[in-house]
Amino acid sequence: VPRDRFMLSLHTYSWSGPGKWSPKAFAGGGVAWMFLQAYDTMMSQELYGELREWQLIEQMDREWGFCLDQDLCPVWLSEFGADSNSEYDCQWFASMCRYLARKDADFAYWPLNV
């Protein structure tokens, strides 16, 4: 595919991760939530929101940042956002924004409070 005909578009949230997402982010508590939390613990692979900032940088570079660094193709983070009432989400969101600024990456922000 010619470079001018290809763009990488991706979605990233604190509750997603390298090859994983956490369904417990959508469960309203109770038995289902407890099961999903146990499942997440047993299948333990860290979510993006659980990574320290340096780990998030390394992970994003492995997944798609290298495309920008090597000018392989345009990258558009077409969906990301955070719950402004969640410290967990806000910390991840701040780290992701710093990463995007360093990479001069293009993005679309999705407010989760509307």
| Confidence at residue 67, expressed as pLDDT on a 0 to 100 scale | 94
| Confidence at residue 98, expressed as pLDDT on a 0 to 100 scale | 97
| Confidence at residue 22, expressed as pLDDT on a 0 to 100 scale | 66
Query: What's the CA gap between 109 and 19, in Å, rounded?
Result: 22
Q: Model pTM? A: 0.78
| Confidence at residue 42, expressed as pLDDT on a 0 to 100 scale | 61
Ranges of the chain with pLDDT below 50:
none
| Confidence at residue 9, expressed as pLDDT on a 0 to 100 scale | 92
| Confidence at residue 69, expressed as pLDDT on a 0 to 100 scale | 97
Query: What's the CA gap between 26 and 7, in Å, rounded?
Result: 30
Where would I find the H helices in 1-114?
30-42, 53-60, 66-69, 87-103
Structure tokens at 20: 């994983």
| Confidence at residue 77, expressed as pLDDT on a 0 to 100 scale | 92
Sketch the domain layout of the chain as residue ranges.
6-109
